[in-house]
Amino acid sequence: MPPTRDEQIAQIDAVLRQRFFPIILSVGQAGTEQDDTNRLSRSLAAYALVGLCDLDDAGAAACITDGGNDGGIDAAHYDRANSKLVLVQAKFKRSGAAPSQAECLATVNGVKALREKRFDQFNAQFQNRIDELEEALDTPGVGISMVFVYLGDTLGPHATTDLDTYIADANRVAEIVQWRDGGLATVHSWLVDEQSPGSVTVNVTLELWKCVTAPRKAVYGQITAASLAALAQQHGKALFQRNIRHYLGTYGVNAAIAETVRAKPGDLFYLNNGITIVAETIRPAGGTEDSCAFEFVNASIVNGAQTAGSILTASQNGDISPDARLLVTIVEIGQGADELAVRITRARNTQSFVRGIDFAALDPTQERLRRELASANYCYFYRPSAEARLGGERSMTVEEAAIALACLSFTPLSRSDVDLFRNQNRRVQNAVDFSVAAKKEISRLWDQSGEFYPQLFGDALTGVRLCRLVKVFRFLNEVLAASEQSESVNASPDAYHRRMFFRHGRYFIMGFVAQRCRGVLGRAEHELTEADRTELSRATNELAEVIYAASEDRQGEKGYLSIFRNLTDAQPLADKVLQRLAAPRAPAPAAADAGIVHAPAAAPAADPPAPNLGLIPPAPNGLAP
């Protein structure tokens, strides 16, 4: 399922501001709302040329013609490679409004004026490009493409009728002019498609090779370590697109491989398991069984990323001896044989130790999320790699994502509701189950054959939603960590218990915060505002006190670690908390008495309504709120 309309607009807005605002200047009074909208529209026109003509951002920005006397044309580019003059009208309207009939007619009249070379009717941006425009108009076979980009679904019927009428008249002799509708779905697809990994064609020489032809074609032989390093250097991560991991860095076994390549190159063949490649097509060139050049189309190393990365690292410290060789197997899988590629990847990688989370790389949902997040300049790592360990404000890993989704995607249910739903054979999405799993056995969250993973990483999950929940998770974790730290200097007798409560009860508390702050979590924005943070902080502090008070009678029997990692303890506590939240609230304790970090002072919030103890309707992304 694609992102919601608001989420798509949020992604497009973020990309346009980041990539084009530095190079597309204001045309009106800077800093006004109208100026902001104008710059977004101009940026959208430029981005259309990126998506349609494969221009870089600077080249597309140079094609902007928007302004007075623009003939209804906001950007123009002569695409010589495709023999096409592309003319764009762009409207960035969050309401989704498409260009009106009058605006489309303005573009039609502008195209007529260009074809008749009435250049004096156009502004300076057109005047500066008359040579390019005349070349396009004078070259036989060059078509004219009118593109309308906006944030809605379709142009209105009157506008399309006018455009079709003009096209029919203009193309009486030959097909010269066409128009294209570029609505929100099209613009968003450009963002996602930009992040798609390219196909890799590998050219390499195999020595002492053999071929297997049935039941499918495969070749195996020796490859020099230097050749493998060159391939890894040339293609980068694209060479490992079907692998479950990228290179993890020089440590452990990887360091030993690099050392063997440098110090004892002749031993590499005997000490290394070799690498496995899957390819759409295997094409041999001339040669002998002793040495033959091959081309592997749409190839990927599915086992051996650590070997390839280690050898590349070794090559950066000096030339690699020709004595360093290793075994390589290439399996031809044909076009579109993704299922076979997954089977080979899984089988070849279960012969040595890998973590369950590594196999998330085989789930196409993870790649979709990566592309959506990458389009907004966020790095989402669902394959282990050295870069993933570095972290950063604009990066996140699948592990962090799984925990954030587990803590914030579902609502706490009472035991009676859980039993009711199970009796009705309905799926139970109880936040308590997820918080206990995250605390007790976190690997269950990413076991693709288990009950949790399909609920966390479903088709309805979008990149915007994932990013926002990770941001909320990080913020709540900071608030609760600060509350734990504040108890270290608290001299009260129960300071230790409170410290353990905040340390071990974080995931449990977050589930109730998510229920209280559904509006904050559900906004189609990547970043949190100060208002969001204030609301989350206040809710966290208030709910933490309610939960702590409900748990006090249990702390003498069991420690908080045991309570929050045991469903037989956590569920009764959740029942008690839900009952207390349904009752009228007593005044919140003063900040000095609570011993936790509070948000800035604000007007007291009204008593919340009694929580819905039944099944909460799904949120817009398909997950429980």
pLDDT at residue number 246:
53
State mean pLDDT over 290-307.
83
In whole angstroms, what is the distance from residue 529 CA to residue 520 CA? 10
Identify whether the C-beta of residue 570 lies closer than 8 Å to the C-beta of residue 511. no
pLDDT tens, residue by residue, 37-55: 999 999 999 999 998 988 8
Residues of the chain with pLDDT > 70: what percent? 84
Q: Residue ranges of the domains in the chain?
A: 5-194, 202-354, 408-441+465-594
State mean pLDDT over 106-130.
93
Q: Which residues pair with 218 in a beta bridge?
A: 212, 331
State mean pLDDT over 532-542.
95
302: confidence class by pLDDT, cuts 50, 70, 90? confident
Instruction: Output Rg (C-alpha) for the chain, integer angstroms.
Output: 30
Q: DSSP letter for 180, please.
A: E
pLDDT tens, residue by residue, 442-467: 878 877 777 888 899 988 999 999 99
Q: Which residue has the higher pLDDT, 591 or 613?
A: 591
pLDDT at residue number 549:
92
Amino acid at 85: L
Taking 60 as the threshold, does the pLDDT of residue 235 lie above it?
Answer: yes
Helix (H, G, I), strand (E, B) or coil at 243: coil
State mean pLDDT over 367-376.
88
Taking 70 as the threshold, does the pLDDT of residue 603 lie above it?
Answer: no
Core vs surface per residue 536-563: b (16+ CB within 10 A) or e: bbbbbbbbbbbbbebbeebbeeeebeeb
615: confidence class by pLDDT, cuts 50, 70, 90? very low
Residues of the chain with pLDDT > 90: what percent? 38
Which residue do the tokens 């914030």 mark?
408
Highest mean pLDDT among 182-191, 212-221, 384-393: 182-191
State mean pLDDT over 586-606.
45
pLDDT tens, residue by residue, 46-96: 999 998 988 888 889 999 999 899 999 999 999 988 889 999 999 999 998
pLDDT at residue number 449:
72
Tokens for 411? 């609502």
pLDDT at residue number 182:
92
State mean pLDDT over 517-546.
94
Q: Which residues pair with 78 in a beta bridge?
A: 85
When the pLDDT of each residue in the chain is averaged and rounded to a whole number, the result is 83
pLDDT at residue number 349:
54
Phi then psi for residue 13, to 5 deg, are -60, -45
Taking 70 as the threshold, does the pLDDT of residue 245 lie above it?
Answer: no
229: confidence class by pLDDT, cuts 50, 70, 90? confident
H-assigned helices in 216-275:
225-235, 253-263, 268-271
Which residue do the tokens 């189309």 mark?
297
Contacts of 81 (CB under 8 A, 6+ apart): none
State mean pLDDT over 528-556.
91
545: confidence class by pLDDT, cuts 50, 70, 90? very high
Alpha carbon dihedral 307, 311, 312, 318, in 10-degree steps, equals 170
Tokens for 185? 């779905």
Tokens for 62? 């140079």
What Cα–Cα distance (Å) separates residue 385 from each residue in 175, 186, 244, 261, 521? 51, 32, 10, 21, 29
Q: Which residue has the higher pLDDT, 386 or 181?
A: 181
Q: Secondary structure of the chain: what % helix, strand, coil (to 5)?
A: 50, 15, 35
In whole angstroms, what is the distance from residue 304 CA to residue 397 CA? 22
Phi then psi for residue 413, to 5 deg, are -115, 150
121: confidence class by pLDDT, cuts 50, 70, 90? very high
